Structure 1
Amino acid sequence: MKQLYPLYFALLLFLTAAGAHAQDMARVRQTIDTLCSSAMHGRGYLLEGDAKAAGYIRSRFAAAGLKSFDNDYFQYFRLPVNRITHTPQLQVDGKKLTAGSGFLAQASSASGKGKAKVLVLDALIFFDPAVAQRFFAQDFHKKALVFRQQDRQKLQKLAPEYLTKLQQAKVHVVLQPKELLTTVATRQGAIPVLEVQAAAWPATARRIKYNITADFDSAYTTQNVLAFVEGSIRPDSFIVFTAHYDHLGGQGEEVYFPGANDNASGTAMLLELASFYSQPQNRPKYSMAFIAFTAEEAGLLGSFHYVQHPLFPLSQIRFLLNFDLLGTGDEGMMVVNGAVHTAEFELLQQLNQQHHYLPNIRNRGKAANSDHYPFSDKGVPAFFFYTLGGTTAYHNVKDHPGQLPLTRFAEVYQLILDFAATLQE
């Protein structure tokens, strides 16, 4: 038996080392389920969704023993935001449409309710001046102006007198040919606007009854969540991991947007990395900072606020990795700024080829499409990772945890650890 001891201990050491890096996918799933729960109501700016999510992330940081930059893990700031505070209502010729799947209030919609006759936009107005003149000679008051999404930009290019006439309508109805998508609005429009699934809109519609309640808050208080693990050798140099935890919130109590892929998946990755580096046996040489941003969906406002008010000098950042949409991976991963920081991208490629983590890693240049951008704009070297393939649910009620495959989540996690380790050499 003695001759087996070396083999046994070698196997034990292998399993211990593997366990130190192994991905706890059950915990990842639980994190995503929690962030997407109805209690957090889409992690937006209604029913305290953002505050509840921020509190959860702070509790995870604190439980892992991460340090706070300012004793409470939060960085507060204010933003303007329009909120649909009650579940919108819509009936077309007496038939009720379902909020969330059949229609939504546009994020920037004003309040409004009542009944209105349908006035369908004549698309010939864009090509025939005589048709346009006749169409806009009509009385738009008490009308529901109905037009297609693909005509929206054309409408903005009409003559000023026609644009004024459009605003005389009681309500606008925009027919969406595909999925209903929404966003976070930092302003409120002049009139109520409903986004309706084209397939749910009757071709012979004559009258609608609607009710939209919106509230514009010019100074809503929200918060980034920040923590760090101090490096053992170079504590004044940082590798920074970021992900936005906010999503689109909801419309009243009955409709909310879970945001599983966008971006509970990236937030889960952030928390997994925080857990790893918080363990004494994994203490890094460089300090590791973890930032969960709010208000990304409102125009990267959380990350722009941070770079204007950094908690340590931006010049001390060795590299920043931003995670958004990490719930798939069937077709590999995209690296924004990969074409900018070519040496680091080549390192990623080498690590991936060596360990066969992902089918492929693609790169692109600069893009202002997530929270890496404000840092890049200030000269901080940064990558933005998002996975490819799999689910197409995005900015709608369908982006829930049950449809999220997490195909290559564990592999992306390991690639990040390998990449960060190499950056510290």
Structure 2
Amino acid sequence: MKLFRYILILFFCLGSLHLYAQDMLRVRQTIDTLTSSYFHGRGYIFEGDTRAANYIRDRYKAAGLQPVGSSYMQEFTLPVNRITETPELQVGNYKLTAGTDFVASARSSSGKGKADVLYLDTLVFSNEAALQKFFAHNFRKKALVYPQKFQKQLWELPLPYLQKLSSAALHIVLQPNGLLTTVAAQAAPLPILEVKQSAWPAGARKLKYKVVSDHTPNYRTQNVIGVIPGAVQPDSFIVYTAHYDHLGGQGKGVYFPGANDNASGTTMLLELAEYYSKPENRSNYSIAFIAFAAEEAGLLGSFHYVNNPLFPLSNIRFLVNLDLLGTGDDGMMVVNGSIHPAEFAQLQTINKKHNYLPQIKMRGKAANSDHYPFSERGVPAFFFYTLGGTTAYHNTNDQARQLPLTKFSEVFRLITDFAAALQGQR
């Protein structure tokens, strides 16, 4: 009898494990795919964003998700400055490597040629005589070189000085802690290169450079949306969101893979779609999955959606935004945790019961990912991101192979348990 009871308990335990089983091989394959050169950083050159959107749409279809209306795509336009060729920089006799030693600033304009190096005298910010002496230089055909920490102060000088700064051949911004780039809506008035401080040859006096950029005022991109209708209350929605875009590339020679940011969150979104598509996991509420474009350009995809919702925002019972989910050694942060204390307490209770994560921390409102436009419209929302592990961010080092995925399965189970609790299903 005891043996029978043991076998019965084991059967139910194994059944439970099967219910929650995470296909980590598929997870790795999805992240590898999204970070591959074919998608070229999921940005705005070589159709990287469109290829990624089509891949997500096809995954939705394969899982049996339905479009909202006639299409999975919600198109919109944005202004974007693109670096369309791999930049070049030779300092003295040293040829620096694009993507490793330097990148073009996202807002760089085009330019090429040779220039003499002019180092910023940082006394210009505190000494009037030094200010006048430095700006007495002829900036034409000069490469103005300065540490990143002075960039903001430099561009806050009065207009006559700004005009002199803009007359330089180019600016070189020295980055002390590695390269960090972004997406820019507008172009600067001159070429700007960002160079690792450690890669800059000390005392360099001359350089040669080339930057090719293109400002596109109405670049067309798209959000990707699918839904699984609820079994009991189909007009009520749990919404999962993740931005699939990243920084793209700089010509064919450089691209930013964006493994943690945000192939990890996009993969979690697709894993959740696979889970809820199974009949045994069907939710009482409808589940919507929104993969946003243009988060890196200023949350433009999510702002576009809340201004053009495909179902009433008031029907969203809760939204969970998924971004930077590739680690978890130190637990997870919940943005808006202090805004929705009852739901945060539910999360803590679930986590304590199952010991999914070492800790769940909270913070208040922050405009740091795609939950924010929804929160501002009164939609209850959390933004989850994991803590610890990799520090690669917004550079070429954010690669799939360095992503530990330490607590990916546990975060997945926490999310599905939380959604079930919100609907009274568990």
Q: Which residue of 1 aligns with 2:388?
A: 389
Q: Which residue of 1 aligns with 2:327?
A: 328
Asked if residue 56 in structure 1 is aligned to residue 55 in structure 2, the reply is: yes
- Partners of 1:72 and 1:239 lie apart in 2 by 20
- Partners of 2:210 and 2:93 lie apart in 1 by 14
- Partners of 1:169 and 1:43 lie apart in 2 by 33
State the one-letter code of the partner of 1:252: G
Q: Which residue of 2 aligns with 1:83?
A: 82
Q: Which residue of 1 aligns with 2:220?
A: 221
State the one-letter code of the partner of 1:46: I
- Partners of 1:84 and 1:17 lie apart in 2 by 50
Residue by residue, what CA displacement relative to the aligned partner does 1:84-122 show, whole Å, maximum 9, x if unpaired? 000000000132100001000000000000000111111
- Aligned residue for 2:68, secondary structure, equals coil
Q: Which residue of 2 aligns with 1:309?
A: 308
Q: Which residue of 2 aligns with 1:399?
A: 398
Q: Which residue of 1 aligns with 2:415?
A: 416
CA-CA distance at 1:71 after TM superposition? 2.9
CA-CA distance at 1:154 after TM superposition? 1.2
- Partners of 1:161 and 1:3 lie apart in 2 by 89
Q: Which residue of 1 aligns with 2:189?
A: 190
Query: Once structures 1 and 2 are overlaid, which stretch shifts more, 312-321 or 137-146?
Result: 137-146
State the one-letter code of the partner of 1:30: Q
Q: Report how many residues are paired.
A: 424
CA-CA distance at 1:418 after TM superposition? 0.6
- Aligned residue for 1:255, secondary structure, equals coil
Q: Which residue of 2 aligns with 1:276?
A: 275
- Partners of 1:257 and 1:284 lie apart in 2 by 36
Matches within 5 A, 1:208-287: 208-287=207-286
TM-score, normalised on structure 2? 0.98
CA-CA distance at 1:11 after TM superposition? 2.9
Asked if residue 68 in structure 1 is aligned to residue 67 in structure 2, the reply is: yes
Q: Which residue of 2 aligns with 1:348?
A: 347
CA-CA distance at 1:164 after TM superposition? 1.1
- Partners of 1:214 and 1:5 lie apart in 2 by 71
State the one-letter code of the partner of 2:269: L
Residue by residue, what CA displacement relative to the aligned partner does 1:23-78 show, whole Å, maximum 9, x if unpaired? 11111111100000010000001100001111111111000001111233110000
- Partners of 1:377 and 1:51 lie apart in 2 by 28
CA-CA distance at 1:156 after TM superposition? 2.0
- Aligned residue for 2:214, secondary structure, equals strand
CA-CA distance at 1:159 after TM superposition? 2.3
Q: Which residue of 1 aligns with 2:98?
A: 99
Structure 2 regions of 5+ residues with no counterpart? none
CA-CA distance at 1:12 after TM superposition? 3.0
Q: Which residue of 2 aligns with 1:137?
A: 136
Q: Which residue of 2 aligns with 1:360?
A: 359
Q: Which residue of 2 aligns with 1:158?
A: 157
- Aligned residue for 1:350, secondary structure, equals helix
State the one-letter code of the partner of 2:244: Y
CA-CA distance at 1:163 after TM superposition? 1.3
State the one-letter code of the partner of 1:132: L
CA-CA distance at 1:14 after TM superposition? 2.9
Residue by residue, what CA displacement relative to the aligned partner does 1:188-231 show, whole Å, maximum 9, x if unpaired? 11100000111111121111100000001100110000001100
- Partners of 1:67 and 1:158 lie apart in 2 by 54
Structure 1 regions of 5+ residues with no counterpart? none
- Partners of 1:274 and 1:409 lie apart in 2 by 15
Q: Which residue of 1 aligns with 2:166?
A: 167
Matches within 5 A, 1:14-29: 14-29=13-28
- Partners of 1:17 and 1:406 lie apart in 2 by 22
- Partners of 1:177 and 1:7 lie apart in 2 by 60
State the one-letter code of the partner of 1:301: L
CA-CA distance at 1:158 after TM superposition? 1.6
- Partners of 1:213 and 1:163 lie apart in 2 by 23
State the one-letter code of the partner of 1:295: A
State the one-letter code of the partner of 1:16: G
- Partners of 2:356 and 2:5 lie apart in 1 by 30
Compute the RMSD of aligned alpha carbons.
1.1
CA-CA distance at 1:312 after TM superposition? 0.1
Q: Which residue of 2 aligns with 1:207?
A: 206
State the one-letter code of the partner of 1:22: A
State the one-letter code of the partner of 1:21: Y
State the one-letter code of the partner of 1:195: E
Q: Which residue of 1 aligns with 2:118?
A: 119
State the one-letter code of the partner of 1:127: S
- Aligned residue for 2:75, secondary structure, equals strand
State the one-letter code of the partner of 2:371: H
- Partners of 1:216 and 1:164 lie apart in 2 by 21
- Partners of 2:81 and 2:355 lie apart in 1 by 45
Q: Which residue of 2 aligns with 1:33?
A: 32
- Aligned residue for 1:334, secondary structure, equals strand
Residue by residue, what CA displacement relative to the aligned partner does 1:253-308 show, whole Å, maximum 9, x if unpaired? 01000000000000011001100000011111000000000100000000000000
Q: Which residue of 2 aligns with 1:296?
A: 295
- Partners of 1:321 and 1:86 lie apart in 2 by 37
Q: Which residue of 2 aligns with 1:377?
A: 376
> Quick one: structure 1 residues 369 and 3, their matched pair in 2 at CA, closer, same or farther if it must change by over 3 Å?
closer
Query: Once structures 1 and 2 are overlaid, which stretch shifts more, 53-62 or 156-165?
Result: 156-165
- Partners of 2:138 and 2:215 lie apart in 1 by 30
- Aligned residue for 2:76, secondary structure, equals strand
